[in-house]
Amino acid sequence: MSVEGVTPRQNLLDYIRGVGLTGAKEGCAEGECGACTVVLVKQNGEGSEYRAVNSCLMLLAMAAGQEIYTVESLANCPAGAEAELHPVQQALVDHGGSQCGYCTPGFVMSLFAEYYRPGREGHCLIEAMGGNLCRCTGYRPIRDASLSLGRAPDDIFRQRLSQPAPPLTECTYADDEARFSRPASLAACQDEMRAYPTARFIAGGTDLVVEANLRGTRLPPLISLEAVPELQAWAETGDFVDIGAGLTLNEVAARWVDAPLAFREWLTLFASPPIRNRATLGGNLATASPIGDAAPLLLGLDAQLRLVGPAGQRVVSLAGFFAGYRKTILQPGEIIVSIRIPKPLPDFVRFYKVAKRKLDDISTVAACLALSLDSGGRVTKARFAYGGVAATPLRTYEAEQAVEGRRWSTSAARRAQEEISRALRPISDYRGSAEYRLALARSLVEKFAWETLEQAA
Ligand SMILES: Cc1cc2nc3c(=O)[nH]c(=O)nc-3n(C[C@H](O)[C@H](O)[C@H](O)COP(=O)(O)OP(=O)(O)OC[C@H]3O[C@@H](n4cnc5c(N)ncnc54)[C@H](O)[C@@H]3O)c2cc1C
Ligand code: FES
Ligand code: FES
């Protein structure tokens, strides 16, 4: 499909609905409900895979050159014959998984991506629909539909996956009011930034586009980082893991096969599958949100950031990256290119997220607590990193120092808790009072101690 006469500000959902593909719906316009879900074809090894994404959080320009399936493309509708539903649609019908139907196209598309997931065995995982809300059917019939779906047949959708996905290429779209460019190199990003000094970088758009949708913010010129190879790179050696800042969270998970358990736990607690199919680590860190989940995890793992900007390249410690509430040390035009995690990883590392809901919610307090011990059980390195307890994500150095050099024990954990009480001054807001946040920060150390002491003995 070629598109003309559309402002680069328009989002993909509005566009597809405007051309009559009205299966996808707008429920929230902020990535929460999944009514707008469509499927992108993305590279997977030599072939490709389907990825469910929220079309309300993609600008149409971001879809340039990409292959996208909407719910309208699934049923087989031969001319003059009765339409034959796709097996995923049929399963939802058979199990009574739809009432008013508003959410149904979104569920269908998430389940469709799961149905054809390369390497899937057994039934479809219900977690694949973790980004879809239904207000009237109840989830049991939807779950039953998902559990009824076995191996996908060798149909056109499966055959499609043996071919590569279309590559992301550079492009520029502009009208009198908006501009979107997608350069294919770091140097070209810098050229764009010089030419449009008010521009902002955009990666997955799961923060920026929410801002535009909900607050009606007029977006400045946007420079997409999606086609820059350095941000999509992945390297692992005996000394470090180097993660391209523009890889989506699910891409990071697919590459980091021996990631610590804490990373896997962290991943499932981060938003929903469609958001994880677009959100990046670079975008999460650059927002400097005090309740962003990447910072505590990466602080606990001693991450460093490789930055490239007009003044060249520098490597900084993540611990020194946050300069204040929603502020970083990034200079104008500077890009987070990669996140480097040194090896060996700590002996014990856990990520905890306390939120009002267990899944798909924003943290009240998040913590990554990590320890390395010597053969005598003494702490050689401690990292107690938190989000949600101050204006920036932070490490509690005082608590770390209180346990380093000591045997890891309940009394060492208590010393750390006392230091945490002295060091942290959380604020109160509608997610939790200062007292509650402080109590959480302390009690997570106790939880960590209980979880690790037996293993450490
Ligand atoms: C429904 C929903 C649920 C969410 N749940 C969570 C959650 O559980 N935990 C959590 O932490 N966050 C959550 N978020 C927030 C968001 O998804 C993350 O912050 C995400 O990682 C942002 O990445 P992005 O690539 O989409 O950023 P974008 O929106 O593309 O960019 C965000 C900001 O970062 C800048 N930027 C992006 N990449 C770079 C780079 N490489 N270098 C320099 N600057 C850059 C942009 O200029 C922009 O200012 C949620 C968002 C939504 C909509
Ligand atoms: S409209 Fe709710 S997630 Fe897009
Ligand atoms: S069927 Fe009505 S919202 Fe899900």
Which has more confidence, 432 or 225? 225
CA-nearest residue, atom 6 of ligand 1: 271
**How many whole angstroms separate alpha carbon 449 and alpha carbon 444?**
8
- Judged by average pLDDT, the poorest of 85-99, 206-220, 260-274, 316-330 is 206-220
User: Which amino acid, one-letter code, is at 50?
Assistant: Y
Q: Using most ligand atoms within 8 A of CB, pick from 110, 180, 186, 284 the residue to mutate for ligand 1.
A: 284
Task: Compute the CA torsion angle 74, 78, 79, 81 (nearest 10 deg).
Answer: -110
Which has more confidence, 210 or 82? 210
Ligand that lies nearest to the alpha carbon of residue 200, given by its number in the listed order: 1
Rounded average pLDDT over 183-212:
97
**How many whole angstroms separate alpha carbon 162 and alpha carbon 43?**
10
Domains 12-160 and 348-456 share a fold: no
User: Which amino acid, one-letter code, is at 88?
Assistant: V
pLDDT 10s digits, 26-70: 999 999 999 999 999 999 999 999 999 999 999 999 999 999 999
Question: For position 223, what pLDDT does the model report?
Answer: 98
Judged against a pLDDT cut of 90, whether residue 260 lies above it is answered with yes
Angle at which helices 87-94 and 139-147 cross, to 10°: 130
103 pocket-lining for ligand 3 (C-beta < 6 Å): yes
Give me the CATH code for the 229-342 domain, please.
3.30.465.10
Is omega for the bond preceding 344 within 30 degrees of 0, making it cis?
A: yes
**How many whole angstroms separate alpha carbon 302 and alpha carbon 32?**
31
Other CB atoms closer than 10 Å to residue 123's CB: what's the count?
14
Judged against a pLDDT cut of 90, whether residue 144 lies above it is answered with yes
Q: What would be the CATH architecture of the domain defined by 348-456?
A: 2-Layer Sandwich (3.30)
200 pocket-lining for ligand 1 (C-beta < 6 Å): yes
User: Which amino acid, one-letter code, is at 76?
Assistant: N
Judged against a pLDDT cut of 70, whether residue 235 lies above it is answered with yes
**CA 221 to centroid of ligand 1, rounded, Å:** 18
- Taking the CA of residue 386 as centre, how many other CA atoms within 13 Å lie in the half-sphere pointing to its CB? 26
**How many whole angstroms separate alpha carbon 40 and alpha carbon 92?**
22
Judged against a pLDDT cut of 70, whether residue 456 lies above it is answered with no
Of the candidates 12, 5, 18, the residue with the CA atom closest to the CA atom of residue 40: 12
141 pocket-lining for ligand 1 (C-beta < 6 Å): no
Beta bridge partner(s), residue 341: 241
**CA 41 to centroid of ligand 3, rounded, Å:** 27
DSSP 276-334: HTT-BHHHHHHTT-TT-SHHHHHHHTT-EEEEEETTEEEEEEGGGTEEETTEESPPTT-
Q: Mean pLDDT score of the chain, rounded to an integer?
A: 95
Sorting pLDDT into bands at 50, 70 and 90, what band is 185?
A: very high
Ligand that lies nearest to the alpha carbon of residue 25, given by its number in the listed order: 2
Task: Give the fold, CATH level 3, of 12-160.
Answer: DNA polymerase; domain 1 (1.10.150)
Identify the H or E element spanning 235: strand 234-236
Measured at the alpha carbon of residue 204, what is the angle toward residues 198 and 207, in degrees to the nearest 5? 70
Ligand 3 atom closest to residue 134's alpha carbon, by position in its atom list: 4
E strand spans, 25-138: 37-44, 47-54, 68-69
Q: Where are the domains of the chain?
A: 12-160, 171-224, 229-342, 348-456
Identify the H or E element spanning 372: strand 365-373
Beta-carbon contacts of 414 under 8 Å, excluding residues fewer than 6 positions away, are: none
The answer to whether the beta carbons of residues 205 and 287 sit under 8 Å apart is no
Judged against a pLDDT cut of 90, whether residue 78 lies above it is answered with no
Rounded average pLDDT over 337-341:
98
Share of the chain above pLDDT 70, in %: 100
φ, ψ for residue 150, nearest 5 deg: -90, -145
Three-class secondary structure of residue 206 per DSSP: coil
Ligand 1 atom closest to residue 353's alpha carbon, by position in its atom list: 8
Of the chain, the end-to-end C-alpha distance in Å amounts to: 62
Question: For position 353, what pLDDT does the model report?
Answer: 95
- pTM above the 0.95 mark? yes
The answer to whether the beta carbons of residues 416 and 405 sit under 8 Å apart is no
**How many whole angstroms separate alpha carbon 403 and alpha carbon 381?**
9
Tell me the CATH class for 171-224.
alpha beta
Rounded average pLDDT over 192-196:
97
Alpha helix locations (H) across 95-135? Answer: 104-115
Rounded average pLDDT over 197-218:
93
The DSSP bridge pattern shows strands 304-309 and 234-236 to be unpaired
Sorting pLDDT into bands at 50, 70 and 90, what band is 457?
A: low
